[in-house]
Chain A
Amino acid sequence: MRGHIGLVTRRQLLLAGGLGGAGLVLGVWAWRKRKRRRIVPDRGAALAPSAFVAVEPDDTVRVWVSRSEIGQGVWTALPMLVAEELDADWDMVQPVQPLADDAYGQMGTALSSSVRSLWLELRTAGAMARTMLVAAAAEQWSCRAEECTTERGFVVHASSGRRAGYGSLVALAKQQRAPEEPALRARTDFRILGTDAARKDVRDKVTGAARFGLDVRLPGMLRAVILRCPHFGGRLVRSDTAAARAMAGVVDVFDHPNGIAVVARDTWTAMQARLAITAEWAQGAGAGVTSEGIAARLRDAAASPGTTVWSRGRGAAGLASTGTRLEAGYALPYLAHATMEPIHCTAWVHEGRCELWVSTQSPQAMQQAAARALGIARDRVVVHPMFVGGGFGRRVMDEEVLEAVAIARRFDVPVQLVWSREDDLQHDFYRPAAHHRIDALLADGTIRAWHHRVIAPAVVHHDAGPDFVCPVGAEGATDLAYGIPDAAVEYRHVPTVVPTGFWRSVGHSHTAFAIECFLDEAATSLRTTPFALRRGLLQGQPRQLAVLDAVERLAARQPAAGGTARGIALHSSFGSHVAMVAEVAREARGRIRVTRVWCAADAGFVVHPDLVRAQLEGAIVFGATAALHGRIDIQDGAVTNSTHLSNPLLRFSEAPQVEVELLEGAGEPGGVGEIGVPPIAPAIANALAALDGARRRELPLQPRG
């Protein structure tokens, strides 16, 4: 019963095909726009012109945060949008976690879109409330609204010196007409947006008070684990569960579509009982499948044409002109999300209803999945989204929800399903492995033609037919920013049994590696510098050029240490532009250390600079972990490196020193959460080539052991 993508339906994914990641975003936004006239839930005595905001009589401003707090800071950034236009006192603003509810529009947290997609709607909600509060004060003071201003939670009538706190005006404000399209503030007047406003989630996260999905505790709640078939595409042949059943505290043991479910009074007993089961599995379609074998299939597939998904000028035909041909192939492995909070879902199925408590990136999709599985209406499913202990794209999938519901429907009490770390690393929806082949024509000191072939199993639809074109399969390779006159990108899907999913920055996570490594190889062939080659190709792309220049300056301020070398890379994704310089050193036993990273980013208008810096710092560690260590080893369709010992993450002492410069952002906000991942791996690989002259065309980079 492998789950499916929860964020968008398969149909939406296919519809978005021609547009890639941008199409998905547009699809989500269009959905929101249609639903703009939403019913506002009952907010009692509060002033609530929109589902997102309520000004309470006691001066509290509550803001419903419709995206999941996965560490990216939506509990702060989204309320800031409301608070700015409301002219609220930030200390009085309280975020509220809504249940899954269409009153809040599309609640999925993905595509680095939270601030971008709510930029106007939340500001409008704040401005509506402010307009009504001002109108109320004007009525009370028998003056014109135009004579009144607001000041951090007060309406002020300057000429008479009168002031009224928002709370005192709520009752009268509720009688005022809600403006349809209130004027929004000019950016030069922003008082909260663009500042490092105090975060709303951070205190609870250092006291242990923050409640994540796995922290839910309910009366009578049972715990469940599943003994899963280790082989993708395999199945259970026979099992002996007698010893598990006999253990004190075990409530039930039964077959489940994904293996054998164990339900117990506590998590530890459930895990101990799982160990006591003996099971024989058939390898099924997983027989003989290895990660090396898949890599070879991808490499072989790169020898023949795929589907042309983007081209410019004469496309691949441009390679036939006069010049020097340069060709290279790049191989990237499957990658796991490894969210620190293990995968889980608590389900309570009772009286024809279902309640879910889960760390999710898509509450409405989980609601839909549970409703479908139980054959009940969607409004009979209540979803309590919780703080999310790491998302990275993993938690748009509904697998654990389907599992939990299938187990919980057998009991009349809540059941909390927990995946162990091994379950997580063995049964993830992986970033697909990929093979890239780039063939270019070098002439006149630059790149004149470009032919890029991307071979990667499709995201989510890993077992689709060979002609399937994954809409995000070649994202980041299409719309090449570099001004190469003739260019073409082909994509080809290779079906496998290995489940795939969305992994922070999705297609960009591998396309950027191939493109940015190849540019350095071209620079070497052309006897120019990586910086100069990129600079020449980015004329006409002012934003990319600006981050490239900025990062070069930033890194140049720090003298190079002996025994180190640096590499540069640049990539645009989710509406933002990021350039990085990585510095590497070689240590004992041939091991690599990333010592420092400089990063320049243009993420458009920045709502909260420190949160953006934090996301870039974090993305660099996330991406460097993948570049140095990340891989999924598969034998007979089973993942063999399923703990942090064999599948390591970058440790504290290995984390590079990072310096971030944010460029003055023009225009609307760009994406933030994913944009720092794509450039770091090629920057590291390029630095290593600068260190010893050897090109790295395969990830991960760190020698084993």
Chain B
Amino acid sequence: MAIELQIHGRKVTVDAPAAMPLLWALRDVLGMTGTKYGCGIGACGACTVLVDGKPARSCLLPIGELQGREITTIEGLAKDAELHPAQQAWVECSVPQCGWCQPAQVLTAASLLAQDPKPDAAAVDRAMDGVLCRCGTQQRIRTALKRCLGS
């Protein structure tokens, strides 16, 4: 069945069952592979996208429940060729190793910065704890976030 989603401000029609999670609609139907599969049960955070600006686990979000919601994936974070400040900080601090979890890390950080321009350490921990990184880039993520905050 045809379901209409709003991705990066554009309406996109997806021919898929309403119960299909957004993760698979993005990856398998729309070919948008920047959003990563990690566990399928919302435990690792690799599939994080922003829904109305807030981080959400796309592996648990049926597309039938997303009408009228604005979806942002990693592909839509940079405006034209200009990187988002979080992406820029990630590059400058050489954060990624393998890189699989980094779209989710960057989106989570971008959302945090948009909602709380001066998060304290506890707020950073709360926001970032939901996305696992097996390579161990946590310290560099912290440094990159500090750079975004200008401290």
Contacts and interface: CB of A to CB of B under 8 A. Distances in A.
Interface string B119-151: 000000100110111111111111000000000
A211 B129 CA distance: 25
Contacts of B138: 621, 650, 652, 655
Interface residues of A, number: 63
Nearest to B131: A652
A473 to B, nearest CB: 25
A388 B98 contact: yes
A577 B38 CA distance: 34
Interface string A332-356: 0000001111100000000000000
B114 interface: no
Interface string A219-250: 00001000000000000000000000000100
Interface in B55-85: 73-75, 77-78, 83
Nearest to A196: B94
B91 A206 contact: yes
B106 interface: yes
B26 to A, nearest CB: 10
Nearest to A652: B128
B143 to A, nearest CB: 10
Contacts of B46: 340
Task: Tell me the interface secondary structure of chain B in the complex.
Answer: loop
Given A207-B87, A209-B34, A268-B21, A390 B135 contact: yes
Nearest to B138: A655
Interface in A414-428: 418, 420-421
Contacts of A147: none
Contacts of B129: 651-653
B12 interface: no
B102 A206 contact: yes
A605 interface: no
Given A206-B91, A643-B41, A268 B24 contact: yes
Interface string A638-677: 0000011100011111010110000000000000000000
A622 interface: yes
Contacts of B102: 205-206
Interface stretch (A135-143, A167-175, A612-620): A612-620
A388 B100 CA distance: 8
A103 B144 CA distance: 40
B38 A342 contact: yes
A71 B95 CA distance: 10
B115 interface: no
Contacts of A206: 74, 83, 87, 90-91, 95-96, 99, 102-103, 106
A84 B74 CA distance: 35
Given A207-B83, A617-B140, A645-B43, A212 B94 contact: no
Contacts of B77: 207
B134 A202 contact: no
A415 to B, nearest CB: 13
A214 interface: yes
A522 interface: no
Q: Which 9 A-B pairs have the closest CB atoms?
A: A208-B34, A621-B136, A71-B97, A389-B100, A71-B98, A205-B99, A618-B136, A655-B138, A208-B74
18 contacts: A72-B97, A202-B95, A206-B74, A206-B83, A206-B90, A206-B95, A206-B99, A206-B103, A339-B100, A340-B133, A389-B99, A614-B140, A617-B140, A621-B136, A643-B43, A652-B141, A653-B125, A655-B139
Given A615-B97, A645-B43, A653-B125, 13 more contacts: A201-B99, A202-B96, A206-B96, A208-B74, A214-B37, A223-B28, A340-B46, A340-B135, A389-B36, A421-B41, A421-B43, A421-B44, A649-B132
